[in-house]
């Protein structure tokens, strides 16, 4: 079964790659701008997998268009 959410560090790795993950600050800024959807599970902040996939697809579109 696919997870419904990823931790902030795992989201950074998913969007930036394991060799150069996006920073925690960048992930939180993306959440604040509405580019990623986050929710709490106990004390942990998780980012929804569908919103991570949308952000990755949007980034690919911007890269191709440039």
For the segment 19-63, what is each residue's pLDDT rounded down to a tens digit?
999 999 999 999 999 999 999 999 999 999 999 999 999 887 766
Tokens standing for residue 15? 């969007």
Return the bridge partners of 40, or none.
Answer: 45
The model carries a pTM of 0.87
Note the pLDDT of residue 42.
96
> Which helix (H) or strand (E) covers residue 48, if one does?
strand 44-48
């Amino acid at each position: 079964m696919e997870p419904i959410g990823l931790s902030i560090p795992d989201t950074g790795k998913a969007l930036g790659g394991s060799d150069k993950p996006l920073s925690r600050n960048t992930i939180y800024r993306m959440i604040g701008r509405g580019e990623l959807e986050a929710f709490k599970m106990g004390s942990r902040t998780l980012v929804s997998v569908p919103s991570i996939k949308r952000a990755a697809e949007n980034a690919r579109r911007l890269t191709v268009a440039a």
